[in-house]
Amino acid sequence: MTFFLHNTQFIVPEQFRAIPWLFAGCSTRHFGWEESPSHFYRAFRMLNITPEVVIRGTQIHSNKVHIIEKHSRFNPEQKEHMVELPDIDGLITMDPDVGIVVVTADCAPIFLVETEKKIIGLVHAGWKGTLEGIAIQAIEKMLEVGATKDKIRAWIGPTIGVCCYEVSEELTVRFTDTFSYGRECINGRNLDLPRLNALQLRHCGLKEQHLVIEDYCTKCHVKNCYSYRAEGERAGRMISFMMKTTIE
Please write the tens of the pLDDT for every residue from 182-202: 899 999 999 999 999 999 999
| Nearest CA-CA partner of 7 in 41, 24, 32 | 32
Q: What is the pLDDT of residue 1?
A: 44
Q: What is the pTM of this model?
A: 0.93
Residue 180 lies in a domain: no
**For the ranges 5-19, 68-82, 132-146, the one whose mean pLDDT is highest:** 132-146
What is d(CA 214, CA 157) in angstroms, rounded to the nearest whole number?
Answer: 5
What is the extent of the structural domain holding 144? 2-160+210-244
Rounded CA-CA distance 20/17 in Å is: 7
Give the integer Cα–Cα distance in Å for 41 and 80: 6
Domain CATH number, residue 114: 3.60.140.10
Please check whether residue 226 lies inside any domain of the structure.
Answer: yes
pLDDT tier, 67 (very low <50, low <70, confident <90, very high otherwise) = very high
Residue 144 lies in a domain: yes
Number of structural domains the chain divides into: 1
Which phi and psi (to 5°) does residue 76 adopt?
Answer: -60, -20
Q: How many CB atoms lie within 10 A of CB 34?
A: 10
**For residue 224, is it within any domain?**
yes
pLDDT at 51: 87
The rounded mean pLDDT for the chain is 90
pLDDT band of residue 246 (cuts 50, 70, 90) is confident
For residue 120, is it within any domain?
A: yes
> Does 178 map to a domain?
no
**Is residue 13 very low, low, confident or very high in pLDDT (cuts 50, 70, 90)?**
confident
> Quick check: 135 and 144 in contact, CB under 8 A?
no
DSSP-assigned beta bridge partners for residue 209: none
